[in-house]
Amino acid sequence: MLFNSYSFIFAFLPATLFIYALVIRRGRHAAVWALLAASLIFYAGWDWHYLGLIVVSAIGNFAAGMALTRTRSQILLAVAVVGNLMLLAYFKYLGFLGNALAEMGLPHWNASIVLPLGISFLTFHQIAYLVEARRGKVVSHGFHDYALYIAFFPHLIAGPIVRPSDLLVRIVHHGRHMDARRMAIGLSFFSIGLAKKVLLADGLAEYVDPFYQWMNKGGIPGFLDSWGAALAYSFQLYFDFSGYSDMAVGLGMMLGLRLPVNFLSPYKATSLIDFWRRWHITLSHFLRDYLYIPLGGSRHGKARQFAALLVTMTLCGLWHGAGYTFILWGFLHGMLLVINHLWRMSSAAAGAPGQARRIAGWALTFLTVTGLWVVFRASTVDVAGKVLGGMVGFQGITLPLTYQDQLAALKHFGVNFDQIDYFNGMSQLGALALSAFVVLTLPNAYQWLLPTFARIDTRMGSKTPSWLRWYPGPRMAWILGGVTAVALLFMAKPTVFLYFQF
């Protein structure tokens, strides 16, 4: 069941809210059991065969967590974490490892295993619970509380990744009534996320998917083809994943459980370090606290810090997918983050950066991230190399034949005019321009919903004009209602969120 589907919006969600409104008056336990039942029904709507996997995994990790709160055993923690990682490895990496062995001419196996939806995020939540339980940071709770923390349907499939010390506390101290203001904010978040997914991400997919299908068949991309597809995918991935996160946060608020911020205008970042503080924030925090710091972090000298950073980002790439392109993407991000840290060290005495330097930093960051998304999206390293080669003009620069008369002088600089394979002219330029306008000039959802998220807005250093700020009232209801209505009109064929495959 997809958030961007008629069955979810007009059947599952209203039924869940109605039942929740009835049972919450009977107390916290009734509300928790109702939300847990709804979450399991939601997941079973995808494939009920894997419902038992979630239940058995939850029982095992809950038992381990309870034992860790009493014993603080490092051995038990290691065994439990390894058990979760082995389960993830079986479903997600066994086939990849078999193919890698075959490519090296070594004995191998042929594995065709269906990846259970959301198992990567489920594994992260289980591991976070075990670690926090050993540290004594988990509040007293019952199994139904823990099961809801794991299976809560807004974040079950693709996050945000929630610490048990955040969501579990709210579950344990759940209120006894629905809050009208939180419902209004939740509906606003959901509407914004739905518009991002349906009106922007899915529209951009029409330029990205045919291009990479052509590339997988041996296509040789030109300059415009490569840049058009690279930019379209950068915006598509952002609108798709941040749209899901907005919808998840909105659903959580409707049901009285606040999920964490996951995106804060990442394409406004002025450095790669800044980018990872804004993009998939909950993943960055998870990797920092449970991998980077245990590996040494910044406490044991720069060499140890940079090695930990490189390992962390490489494993981040591997977590995203079982493929060489994901590993390469993570490794390159790690290398460039190390370079970013070295640059900051060398320029630390230069004082605060001026406007020109900030603009240069933004441009370099955006172009770097866009180029690395090519590696992330490509099916093979060879395809990624061809697209990146096209972006720097290795296949030559060709403009549409229709502009030959107006731009004939460019022929003297080696520019050719011919039929362009997968660049759709003004329609694609218009889509890219609209996307750039949204991500670079408009406030993000959290900034727009001021004053609820005023602290976040101040921290990111971007003020929202008073006439744009959200408030509960008829005008906002009409605006968001209109946006939602348009999204529903374009939602005839729901598409899966990109991060479902990870």
Q: State whether the Cα torsion 36-37-39-40 is positive or negative.
A: positive
The residues pairing with 397 across neighbouring beta strands, listed in sequence order, are 415
Which residues, in sequence order, are CB contacts of 282 under 8 Å at separation 6+?
159, 160, 161, 162, 260, 262
Per-residue pLDDT tens for 86-99? Answer: 999 888 888 777 77
Q: Which residues of 333-342 are buried (b: 16+ CB within 10 A; e: fewer)?
A: bbebbbebbe
- For residues 27 and 303, what is the distance between their CA atoms, to the nearest angstrom? 54
Token readout for 125 is 């939540």
Distance of CA 47 to the CA centre of its chain: 22
Alpha carbons 236 and 156: distance in angstroms, whole number: 22
pLDDT of residue 10: 94
Return the active site residues: 320
Amino acid at 400: P
Q: Across the 502 residues of the chain, what is the mean pLDDT of every consecutive 10-residue run?
A: 91 95 89 94 85 92 94 94 92 77 66 78 93 90 93 91 88 80 90 95 94 91 91 97 95 91 94 95 93 88 92 94 92 96 75 79 96 96 95 82 75 75 83 95 82 52 62 82 91 83 75
Quick check: 87 and 57 in contact, CB under 8 A?
yes
**Measured distance CA(373)–CA(231) in Å, rounded:** 9
SS (H, E, C) 364-406: HHHHHHHHHHHHHHCCCHHHHHHHHHHHCCCCCEEEEHHHCCC
Distance CA 468, CA 489 (A): 25
Non-local CB neighbours of 76 within 8 Å, separated by 6+ positions: 64, 67, 68
Task: Please give the single-letter amino acid code of residue 150.
Answer: I
pLDDT tens column, 275-313:
999 999 999 999 999 999 999 888 888 899 999 999 999
Task: Give CA separation, 150 vs 45, 145, 473, 479, in Å.
Answer: 17, 9, 35, 35
CA 336, 339, 341, 343 torsion: positive or negative? Answer: negative
pTM: 0.91
pLDDT at 289: 92
Beta carbons within 10 angstroms of residue 461's beta carbon: 7
Contact 233, 186 (CB under 8 A): no
CB 277 within 8 A of CB 36: no
Measured CA distances, 147 to 176, 234, 448 (Å): 20, 35, 33
